[in-house]
């Protein structure tokens, strides 16, 4: 299973998702720190979930990072997240 699918599965198992989009952006980081040719090292993640209700931005990111701890201990280098509740997503 590739890392994108694995991350998507981990998020599905840990959050009550309204929507989730995971994008591998590793190639756009070629030459940067943490880039490993042929590896999925950098991702952009958008999650819409009411699990983020009453959580500030830092708490939301910690929730996601905690779920992906094993991936970070492997070769995952960075994620960029846009995390919002259903209500917040409808305002955008």
pLDDT tens per residue across all 92 residues of the chain: 799 999 999 999 999 999 999 999 976 656 666 655 667 888 999 999 999 999 999 999 999 999 999 999 998 999 999 999 999 999 96
Domain ranges of the chain: 3-91
User: Do residues 34 and 77 make contact, with C-beta atoms less than 8 angstroms apart?
Assistant: yes
CATH number of 3-91: 3.30.300.90
User: Do residues 68 and 76 make contact, with C-beta atoms less than 8 angstroms apart?
Assistant: yes
How many Å is the Cα radius of gyration of the chain?
A: 13
């Amino acid at each position: 299973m590739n890392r994108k699918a694995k991350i998507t599965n981990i998020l599905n198992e840990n959050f009550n998702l309204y929507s989730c989009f995971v994008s591998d952006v590793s190639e756009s980081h070629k030459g940067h720190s943490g880039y490993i040719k042929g590896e999925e090292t950098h991702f952009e993640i958008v999650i819409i979930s009411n699990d983020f209700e009453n959580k500030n931005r830092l708490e939301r990111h910690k929730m996601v990072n905690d779920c992906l701890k094993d991936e970070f201990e492997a070769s995952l280098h960075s994620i960029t997240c846009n995390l919002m509740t259903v209500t917040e997503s409808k305002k955008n």
